[in-house]
Copies of this chain bind each other. A is one copy, B any other.
C-alpha cells in the first residue's frame, strides 16, 4: 500500500497524461482548464485504495479512476452553468472565462472522454465497470435535477434532501470504490460493502460541506462562507432550522430568507446565529458522525481495510 500523497501523485500524473487534440482550442482548452483547477481527487483516490487493498493492480484501475474524476469535473462544469456560478476553486468558471456555449460543449466532450477512459478497463471486468459507471452517471443527473427542483419548493423534507445528495454526491464515491473492487476481482460481497461504505462516506462528506459553508474557517475554506445561506439553498441545516424554529425565531428566519432589504452580510450573520441558537451546528455534526460511523461499520472485518479507514478519517478532518 502507498500513502495518500503517493496515490494522489499517480492520479494527477494520469490526468496530465490524458492527451487531447490541440484543435479546436475552444473545445479542448476548457477541458484542460477544468481539470487543472485541482481538487481533492477523492473519487479516484478511493478507487485506487480499494483496488490496492483488495489485491488488485493499481495500474489496471487507473484509467477508470481517471474517467470517474473527469466525469466528476464534467458535472461541476455543467452545474456551474446551471447555477450561474462565477467562481470555482478561486478561478473563473468555464462559462465565465469563455462562454456558456463553450461550457456546454466542452462539458459534453468531457463526458465522452470519461467514457473513453472507462473503456480502457481490462476486458475481463469492463462490462460490470461500464454498467456501474453508466447507472451512477444517470443517478447523478437525477440528483442534480432534484437539487434544482428543490430550489422552487419550501416543503423539502430531510429524507428528500438526503435522497438528493445520495444521488448527486454519494453514489459516485460508492461507484469509485466498487470499481476498484471489481478490477481487483474482489468477492461480490466485498464490492457491495465497499459501495455502501462509499455511499455513507459520501453523505457524511456532503453534509460536512454544508456545515463548512456556514461554520468553516474563511481563510481555509477556499470559497466564500455563507454561499448556501445567501442562495436559500435547502441544505440539511436550513431544512432542520425551518422544522425546528418556533415563534419569534420562526418569524426571524422567514424574514431573513424572504426579505430583499437585508444585506448579504446581515443575512449570513442572522441565519448563522439562528442555526447556533437552535443547535443546528450540533445536529449537523451528529448527522455527519452518524453517516461516518455507518460507513466504517460497513467495512469492519474486511481484511486490509485500514488504509480506507485512515483516508476516511483524514477526509472527515478537512477544513476545506
CB within 8 Å of B: which residues of A?
A: 21, 23-24, 26-27, 78, 81-82, 101-102, 104-109, 111-113, 115-116, 119, 123, 126-127, 130-131, 134, 137-138, 141-142, 144-146, 148-149
Contact = CB atoms under 8 A, between A and B. Distances in A.
Given A78-B105, A108-B108, 19 more contacts: A21-B142, A24-B145, A26-B149, A27-B142, A78-B104, A78-B108, A82-B101, A105-B141, A105-B144, A105-B145, A105-B148, A106-B141, A108-B141, A111-B111, A116-B131, A119-B127, A119-B130, A119-B131, A126-B127
B141 A115 contact: no
A284 to B, nearest CB: 26
A115 to B, nearest CB: 6
A141 B104 contact: no
Contacts of A127: 119, 123, 126
21 contacts: A21-B142, A27-B141, A78-B105, A78-B108, A81-B104, A82-B104, A101-B148, A105-B144, A105-B148, A107-B108, A108-B108, A109-B138, A109-B141, A111-B111, A111-B112, A112-B134, A112-B137, A112-B141, A119-B127, A119-B134, A126-B126
A141 B138 CA distance: 21
A149 B126 CA distance: 37
Contacts of A23: 142
Contact of A24 (B106, B126, B130, B146): B146
A208 to B, nearest CB: 25
Contact of A138 (B102, B112, B126): B112
A106 B138 CA distance: 10
B105 A134 contact: no
Contacts of A24: 142, 145-146, 149
- Identify the interface centre among A105, A142, A146, A148: most chain B CB within 10 Å of its CB: A105
Given A24-B145, A142-B24, A134 B111 contact: no
A226 to B, nearest CB: 24
Contacts of A137: 112
Contacts of A101: 82, 148
Contacts of A78: 104-105, 108
B104 A116 contact: no
Contact of A134 (B116, B144, B149): B116
A23 B141 CA distance: 11
A182 to B, nearest CB: 15
Contacts of A112: 111, 134, 137-138, 141
A144 B112 CA distance: 15
A134 B110 CA distance: 11
Contacts of A109: 138, 141
A106 B119 CA distance: 23
A134 B115 contact: yes
Contacts of A141: 27, 105-106, 108-109, 112
